[in-house]
A and B are shown apart, each in its own frame.
Chain A
């Protein structure tokens, strides 16, 4: 049997999952090959950790802690409800209102401010004299003075 095959089957051998014939072959190889035997020993040690961790000592205060937790949860229930209402109803409502206000003010700011439109004749009568003095005072009258 090759070392490569051993490396593939070793865990099943250690777990006792292999048929007796194959297990015998592996055992024979392990007796002959020191490298594989060392790896098998290492695997055995590592898998042995599982056994050690299997039944941890039960915490003597487990039941007391559980009871306290249960009581705390029951007393904290209204607060929890409030938190849920706050998180799931009030917050989205507040954010929606803020969003609507934002959009509305955006539209308002974006709109051009209304411009007072004068009729052209009125504009000419009122504004032109300030810009065009020639109309009100011709050059002849100006020179005559």
Chain B
């Protein structure tokens, strides 16, 4: 959800610390994995929100520097097959941007379904929604994603 390995690891560590501290609050009426996912989703959303705020206050120079670093990372990963890897990297950035622009609920449902391979029932438990709501969220998420990717395809983003 945060599209960055180091940030994801930090969040995962925070999740385990929270679980360690508040395990006594865990009610056995839900699965432990559901509880873990719920904490992880909340932590990730908080992180994204804080990051947005930080970016808002970030100076122009800092944002340029971050962009440069991203570009350098792209360049660094293109050692073997430069063309293919660069294209894949651009595709990944495009996909991440498209996912990031989805409404929050759609983004969470899509991430849990695609990255974590959770079933509709499990997603509904984590998000505290009905299964039909999850189905509808995923349907809209895919539609929005396709729309964004098609717009970009027409503009020849890659």
Contact = CB atoms under 8 A, between A and B. Distances in A.
Given A11-B146, A69-B17, A49 B88 contact: yes
Interface string A55-94: 0100100100110011001000000000000000000000
B87 to A, nearest CB: 8
A46 B142 CA distance: 13
Nearest to B91: A46
A46 B149 contact: yes
Contacts of A73: 17
Q: B-side binding surface: helix, strand, loop or mixed?
A: helix
B22 to A, nearest CB: 13
Given A7-B150, A43-B149, A70 B115 contact: no
Contacts of A70: 17, 20
Interface in B1-34: 5, 9, 12-13, 16-17, 20
Interface in B75-97: 88, 91-92, 94-95
A43 B147 CA distance: 11
A123 interface: no
Interface residues of B, number: 23
Interface of B: 5, 9, 12-13, 16-17, 20, 88, 91-92, 94-95, 114-115, 117, 142-143, 145-146, 149-150, 153, 158
28 contacts: A8-B143, A11-B142, A11-B143, A15-B142, A17-B142, A42-B153, A43-B149, A43-B153, A45-B91, A46-B91, A47-B95, A49-B91, A49-B92, A49-B95, A50-B114, A53-B115, A54-B114, A54-B117, A56-B5, A59-B9, A62-B13, A65-B13, A66-B13, A66-B16, A66-B17, A69-B13, A69-B17, A73-B17
Interface of A: 7-8, 10-12, 15, 17, 39, 42-43, 45-47, 49-50, 52-54, 56, 59, 62, 65-66, 69-70, 73
